[in-house]
Structure 1
Amino acid sequence: MSNNNISRHISGQFNIELEAIRTHVLAMGGLVERQLTDALHAIHYQDLDLAKQVIKEDHKVNSMEVSIDEACTRIIAKRQPTAGDLRLVMAIIKTITDLERIGDVADSIARTTLENFTNQQQPFLVSLEALGRKAARMLHDVLDAFARMDVEAAMKVYRSDDDLDREYEAIVRQLMTYMMEDPRSIPNVMKVMWAARAIERVGDRCQNICEYIIYFVKGKDVRHTNREEMEKLLK
């Protein structure tokens, strides 16, 4: 494998199998990124055809998750990997779970697009643009960090979730104001608020993938670890 963080083996076939799985994960990540980007574009511009396409292709993400999971299971059974190899396989299994859930977010956003919003309610959807951009950027960057197994890049993505959270909180305040000013808007505003929450969760999923990268490279499980302790791993 090309990345220095990923060891090579005497068994050339083992290398081929690991590289094939890793390549498959990146392909799945690329599909999920496109799905999310398309869903955000669809809800912003009320592109119903694009929203339907996102919904139609969600099964591809699910199929890739199952395929990669099965490949990882075969490697564990056949190769009985240890140390860094086992951490890599486990990191991949966990990563594809989060990618599949981000795919579910894209599907849900696309379905929200198909709801009936009046012209007066369009600003609700526009308010999601900045939040969506930040989430899509986090996903893109964490996939890049995963491809290179780059801990520093992963930590940079991890920190950027703070900006996403602030944007989400601002949107919630704005939507609450809409509902107080016009109670008739409550049903649709709640749909948009749910979509905003789903987008915010993309950031949390990206943070999870950051933790898997750190786990593989550093050999330390940093789940439920505070930020200061995680930062120490970079020193």
Structure 2
Amino acid sequence: MTDKHLSTQFDSELNALSSRVMEMGGLAEAQIRQASYALANFNEEAAARVMQDEHRVNLMELEIDRELSSVIARRQPAARDLRLLMAMSRVTANLERVGDEAERVARMVQAIVAKGGALRPLPAGELRVAAELASGQLRQALDAFARLDTEAALAILKADDALDREFDGFVRKLITYMMEDPRTISAGLDLLFVAKAIERIGDHATNIAEFIIYVAKGADVRHSTMEQIESTVKSRG
């Protein structure tokens, strides 16, 4: 994941931090899968497990941040090494927010189950497709971050439109259902919050993709057009 360093110990510290970030990413992915299962099956036990795991995600963020601060203070890295450490901090912050969104989905599942019959006419099953897309984006982003693969990062940024289209289409359909049957409005609003949480998970995956380009190219592309990002990725350096 990193270039060869003069300090073997520094190499070891960077690799250990990278492993911790990937471990946190794996836990966040597991939360999404569990939340998706809870949503597809309206399973309250699965929803409860998502919320239990959220505490572990929060602890990992704090631990990784402490380790990052220690390495920066002791090693005083410059250039790409400093960008890498800063990017790790931002990735863990985004993973913690992914956990928050998974927990939000789980809480909404519990609320929907409590409403019972009002849910039946609603297209809840369609959200699983969006959840799988978001989970896939996060997994690809983490794999690309492990390799600092800018081409893969660019592909993730381009693919984000698919999740946005899923979200927009679901919202239109959900509004139609609620207009036709006002009894579904309460449960429908819960599903709307679920859909928004899933969309945000995709947003966090694209944030990670942007951090890859930042580390590898030294360019902050967060507010750039796709054409500008492509140019940055294809540039030397």
What TM-score range do you get, normalising by the shorter chain? over 0.9
Q: CA deviation at 1:117?
A: 3.8
Provide the residue aligned with 2:206 in structure 1: 207
Provide the residue aligned with 2:231 in structure 1: 232
Provide the residue aligned with 2:15 in structure 1: 19
CA–CA distance in structure 1, aligned partners of residues 3 and 130 of structure 2: 38
Verify the 8 A CA contact 1:43 1:113 in the aligned structure 2.
yes
Verify the 8 A CA contact 2:219 2:232 in the aligned structure 1.
no
1:68-90 Cα deviation digits (max 9, x unpaired): 11111011111000001000000
CA–CA distance in structure 1, aligned partners of residues 213 and 16 of structure 2: 21
> TM-score scaled by structure 2?
0.94
Is 1:102 matched up with 2:98?
yes
Q: CA deviation at 1:119?
A: 4.1
Find the residue that maps to 1:127 and give its secondary structure: helix
Q: CA deviation at 1:125?
A: 2.2
CA–CA distance in structure 2, aligned partners of residues 167 and 119 of structure 1: 25
The one of 105, 115, 118 aligned to 2:116: 118
Instruction: In structure 1, list runs of 5 or more residues that go unmatched.
Output: none
- Count of aligned residue pairs for this structure pair: 231
CA–CA distance in structure 2, aligned partners of residues 187 and 221 of structure 1: 41
Verify the 8 A CA contact 2:118 2:183 in the aligned structure 1.
no
Verify the 8 A CA contact 1:124 1:192 in the aligned structure 2.
no
Which residue identity lines up with residue 44 of structure 1 in the other structure? Answer: A
1:45-74 Cα deviation digits (max 9, x unpaired): 111111111111110000000011111101
CA–CA distance in structure 2, aligned partners of residues 60 and 198 of structure 1: 20
1:108-138 Cα deviation digits (max 9, x unpaired): 1111111124245144421211111111110
Which residue identity lines up with residue 74 of structure 1 in the other structure? Answer: S
Range moving further from structure 2, 46-55 or 124-133: 124-133
Instruction: In structure 2, list runs of 5 or more residues that go unmatched.
Output: none
Verify the 8 A CA contact 1:69 1:93 in the aligned structure 2.
yes
Find the residue that maps to 2:233 and give its secondary structure: coil
CA–CA distance in structure 1, aligned partners of residues 58 and 64 of structure 2: 10
> TM-score scaled by structure 1?
0.95
Find the residue that maps to 2:34 and give its secondary structure: helix
* Aligned residue runs from structure 1 range 13-162, under 5 A: 13-115=9-111, 116-119=114-117, 121-122=119-120, 123-162=122-161
CA–CA distance in structure 2, aligned partners of residues 216 and 166 of structure 1: 29
Q: CA deviation at 1:31?
A: 0.4
TM-align CA RMSD:
1.1
Q: Spell out structure 1 runs of 4+ moving beyond 6 A.
A: none
CA–CA distance in structure 1, aligned partners of residues 175 and 126 of structure 2: 13
